[in-house]
């Protein structure tokens, strides 16, 4: 771990949500205190999530009703939002095949993108998202596009599994692995751990890399994202990662604490 003194200089915080600040509808003890502290020192909190099924507006509402926290839409950087930004800048007037939920497809269409869900001529790229409405028919269509057209393949996020009350269900990474096993095509992922997520928050807030900390519970997305973005990271052991995972990982975190309560104590210096 780096010196704990450095932690007290942090102003820009990029938080994962599930397993880091909260689980489901339950906010962890210490999360509200840490967010209030960041506000009190003139800092900024962003919530970076690889969940592409909720929009920024959905999260503002969830934070208010479930957690009693007031936030603004610009604080939420979802993998869906990162994907939208990427597609608008690289495929603004191109045809995009999308494998995703109806609401995700509708959101992309609303922003003016040319989206199709069928294997047709003239497709310029393929995007796969977490699709809780996945059908075998959709898998046939995506396989057809990737096997008959030589086009780039993107995934919204590499997470293999999504936590749920009984354990886990397949997330975008697992769906993409199924497609890769079938077509031999490997996606480029656009959410965490892409460095673009960190760049976006740095640009929007004006803070420096030295003032920034990425906080999360998953090594290959959260901690990797901070490492890729060239900023300090902090792993909390309230979600996926376990202390024993830190012995032999390609994603060593700068700091590690048991939970957000311990992080707030060291950040405030009390
Ligand atoms: Mg998490």
Flag whether 28 is in a domain: yes
| Ligand 1 centroid, distance to 270 Cα (angstroms) | 26
CB under 8 Å to 89, separation ≥6 — which residues? none
The answer to whether residues 172 and 204 belong to one domain is no
How far apart are alpha carbons 76 and 48 in whole angstroms? 6
| Ligand 1 centroid, distance to 114 Cα (angstroms) | 32
201-256 pLDDT tens trace: 999 999 999 999 999 999 999 999 999 999 999 999 999 999 999 999 999 999 99
How far apart are alpha carbons 220 and 193 in whole angstroms? 7
The answer to whether residues 172 and 222 belong to one domain is no
The confidence score (pLDDT) of residue 162 equals: 83
The answer to whether residues 181 and 202 belong to one domain is no
The answer to whether residues 205 and 176 belong to one domain is no
The count of domains in the chain is: 2
The answer to whether residues 145 and 214 belong to one domain is no
243: exposed, middle or buried (C-beta count within 10 Å: 0-12, 13-18, 19+)?
Answer: exposed
Q: Which of 155, 170, 189 is the last residue of a domain?
A: 189
Flag whether 112 is in a domain: yes
Flag whether 40 is in a domain: yes
Flag whether 163 is in a domain: yes
The confidence score (pLDDT) of residue 100 equals: 95
The answer to whether residues 170 and 96 belong to one domain is yes
| Ligand 1 centroid, distance to 218 Cα (angstroms) | 6
SS (H, E, C) the chain: CCCHHHHCCCCEEEECCECCCEECCEECCCHHHHHHHHHHCCCEEEEEECCCCCCHHHHHHHHHHHHCCCCCHHHEEEHHHHHHHHHHHHCCCCEEEEECCHHHHHHHHHCCCEEECCCCCCCCEEEECCCCCCCHHHHHHHHHHHHHCCCCEEECCCCCEEEECCEEEECHHHHHHHHHHHHCCCCEECCCCCHHHHHHHHHHHCCCHHHEEEEECCHHHHHHHHHHHCCEEEEECCCCCCHHHHHHCCCCCCEEECCHHHHHHHHHCC
| Ligand 1 centroid, distance to 239 Cα (angstroms) | 6
Q: Which of 189, 223, 242 is the last residue of a domain?
A: 189
Does 263 have pLDDT greater than 90? yes
**Structural tokens at position 182:** 């079938």
The answer to whether residues 177 and 212 belong to one domain is no
By the 8 A CB rule, do 251 and 227 touch? Answer: yes
The answer to whether residues 100 and 185 belong to one domain is yes
The answer to whether residues 214 and 236 belong to one domain is yes
| Ligand 1 centroid, distance to 79 Cα (angstroms) | 13
| Ligand 1 centroid, distance to 20 Cα (angstroms) | 6
Flag whether 158 is in a domain: yes
The answer to whether residues 96 and 182 belong to one domain is yes
126-181 pLDDT tens trace: 999 999 999 999 999 999 999 999 999 999 999 998 877 788 899 999 999 999 99
CA 86 to chain centre: 14
CB under 8 Å to 228, separation ≥6 — which residues? 193, 194, 195, 198
| Ligand 1 centroid, distance to 23 Cα (angstroms) | 9
pTM for this model (two decimals): 0.85
- Domain of 199, CATH number, reads 3.40.50.1000
Flag whether 244 is in a domain: yes
Q: Which of 150, 167, 189 is the last residue of a domain?
A: 189
| Ligand 1 centroid, distance to 78 Cα (angstroms) | 13
| Ligand 1 centroid, distance to 52 Cα (angstroms) | 14
The answer to whether residues 175 and 224 belong to one domain is no
Flag whether 149 is in a domain: yes
**Residue 270 confidence class, pLDDT cut points 50, 70, 90:** low
The confidence score (pLDDT) of residue 8 equals: 94
Flag whether 61 is in a domain: no
The answer to whether residues 184 and 204 belong to one domain is no
**Structural tokens at position 131:** 């699709």
Residue 197: which domain range? Answer: 4-50+192-268
């Amino acid at each position: 771990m780096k010196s704990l003194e450095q932690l007290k200089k942090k102003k820009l915080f990029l938080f994962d949500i599930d397993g880091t600040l909260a689980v489901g509808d339950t906010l962890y003890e210490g999360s509200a205190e840490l967010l209030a502290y960041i506000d009190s020192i003139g800092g900024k909190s962003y919530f970076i999530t690889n969940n592409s099924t909720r929009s920024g507006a959905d999260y503002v509402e969830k934070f208010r009703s479930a957690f009693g926290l007031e936030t603004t839409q610009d604080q939420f950087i979802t993998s869906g939002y990162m994907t939208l930004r990427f597609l608008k800048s690289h495929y603004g007037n191109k045809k995009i095949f999308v494998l995703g939920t109806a609401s995700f497809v509708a959101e992309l269409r609303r922003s003016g993108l040319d989206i199709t869900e069928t294997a047709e001529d003239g497709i310029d790229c393929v995007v796969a998202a977490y699709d809780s409405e996945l059908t075998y028919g959709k898998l046939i269509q995506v396989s057809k596009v990737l096997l008959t057209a030589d086009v780039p393949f993107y995934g919204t996020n590499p997470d293999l599994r999504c936590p749920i009350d009984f354990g886990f269900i397949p997330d975008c990474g697992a769906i993409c692995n199924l497609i890769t096993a079938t077509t031999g095509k490997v996606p480029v992922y656009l959410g965490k751990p892409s460095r673009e997520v960190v760049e976006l928050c740095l640009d929007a807030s004006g803070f420096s890399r030295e003032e920034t900390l990425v906080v999360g519970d998953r090594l290959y997305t959260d901690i990797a994202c901070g490492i890729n973005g060239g900023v300090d990271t902090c792993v909390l052991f309230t979600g996926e990662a376990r202390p024993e995972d830190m012995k032999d990982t390609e994603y060593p975190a700068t700091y590690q604490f048991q939970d957000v309560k311990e992080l707030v104590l060291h950040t405030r210096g009390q």
